[in-house]
Amino acid sequence: MSILKEKVQQALAAATEKQESGSSTGLDSQRLFHGRGCVYPGYEQVTVDLYAPVLWVTFFKPNEDVEFEEQVTAEVTALAQVYGLEAVLVQRRYLQDSPSECVWGVLPENICAQRGSARFTIQLGGRQNTGFFLDMEPGREWLEQRAAGKRVLNLFAYTCAFSVVAQQAGASMVVNVDMSRGALNQGRENHRLNNLPTDPIRFLQENILKSWGRIRRPGPYDIAIIDPPSFQRGSFVASQDYRKLVRRLPEFMARDGDVLLCLNAPELGEDFLRQLVMDECPDCEFVSRLTPSADFPDADPDQQLKLMHFRYCPPSADVE
C-alpha cells in the first residue's frame, strides 16, 4: 500500500467514525493528503481533499513516471467507492487554465464545504481557489473561542467564512471588507445558507489600502483578522504592503483587542511578521503563533501558513 493510500484511508476512517459517533452531522471538509509539505518523498506535488461526497485530487507538476497519476487516481477512486462517496475529481494545475476532470462517478450539481453544522458554497475545479481554505481551520477555531459579544473586523474577507463562524459564535457585529464584489456576494450567500441574518453584518467592497475612513467608522473593533494575499499584482504585495496595514491598527482597534495576522507566503517567515509589528505598531504585544493544522504537515514550519496572535495594549492615557 502506498503512503498516499494509507494516509487517505486513515483520514477517511477517522472522519467516518466521527460522523457515526454523532459528534459531526456530516463528513467535515478536510485535507486527507498533503504532499506539498515535502514530508512524503515522491508525492511532493499531490494533494487529496474531501468535500463530501467528492474526493478532489490535485497534481501541481507532472511526474517523471508516466503511470504515476493513473496509479494515484486508481487508489483514490477505490477508497471513494469503499467509503460511499459519489465522485473523484482530478485537477492538473500544471496545465494551462488548470483543467479538471471527473474520473469516476457523477459530480453533484451543488457542492458545499462542511464544518460541523456549517456549510459554505464552493466551486470545485472551475478555478484554483474553492472559496473555502482548509488550512485556515486553526484561525476559525481561534475566532470561535473568543467572538461572543465582540465587534469583529474581517479584512480581505474573501467569501466571509470567518464572518459566518463569528456570527455563529455570538459576535455582536462583523464588518467584512474585500475588493471583490463576487466574493462578498458569495459571503452573503454563505450567511443565508446557514440561516444567519445579515442585519448585523456589513459587506464593504473597498480597496483596503485606500479606504480607511469607511473601515474605521464602525469601530473600534475587539477583534481584527487580517488575511491578505501574499502576492496580487497591482493590489497587494505582502513584502511591501503588509506594514501599511499594521501601522493603521491603532486607528481602529479597541484597547486589549485581539489581532490575528495571517500570511501564506513560504518565502516570508514568522520573524517577518514579528519584526514588522515591532517596527510599525509597538503597542501590539505578541501572544502566540497558532499551531498549524495537523492536516498540513510540513518539513519546514516557516513555509506553512502563519497565523500570528497579537494583542493591542497601548499605554493608559494617564500614564506619561
Q: pLDDT tens per residue, the chain (320 residues)?
A: 799 999 999 999 999 988 887 766 679 999 999 999 999 999 999 999 999 999 999 999 999 898 999 999 999 999 999 999 999 999 999 999 899 999 999 999 889 999 999 999 998 876 778 999 999 999 999 999 999 999 999 999 999 999 999 999 999 999 999 999 999 999 999 999 999 988 889 999 999 988 899 999 999 999 999 999 887 776 788 889 999 999 999 999 999 999 999 999 988 999 999 999 999 999 999 999 999 999 999 999 888 999 999 999 998 765 44
Q: How many beta carbons lie within 10 A of that of residue 280, not counting itself?
A: 17
Domain count of the fold of the chain: 2
Asked if 280 and 155 sit in the same domain, the reply is yes
Show the domain range for 90: 3-121
DSSP assignment of 268-305: S-HHHHHHHHHHH-TTEEEEEEPPPPTTS--SSGGGSP
Listed residues 95, 121, 147: the one ending a domain: 121
The answer to whether position 319 is within a domain reads no
d(CA 87, CA 297): 26
Asked if 92 and 183 sit in the same domain, the reply is no
pLDDT in the model for residue 319: 43
Asked if 115 and 139 sit in the same domain, the reply is no
Looking at residue 289, which CATH number applies to its domain? 3.40.50.150
Q: Which residues pair with 114 in a beta bridge?
A: 119
The answer to whether position 68 is within a domain reads yes
Asked if 60 and 148 sit in the same domain, the reply is no
d(CA 62, CA 46): 10
d(CA 269, CA 276): 11
The answer to whether position 126 is within a domain reads no
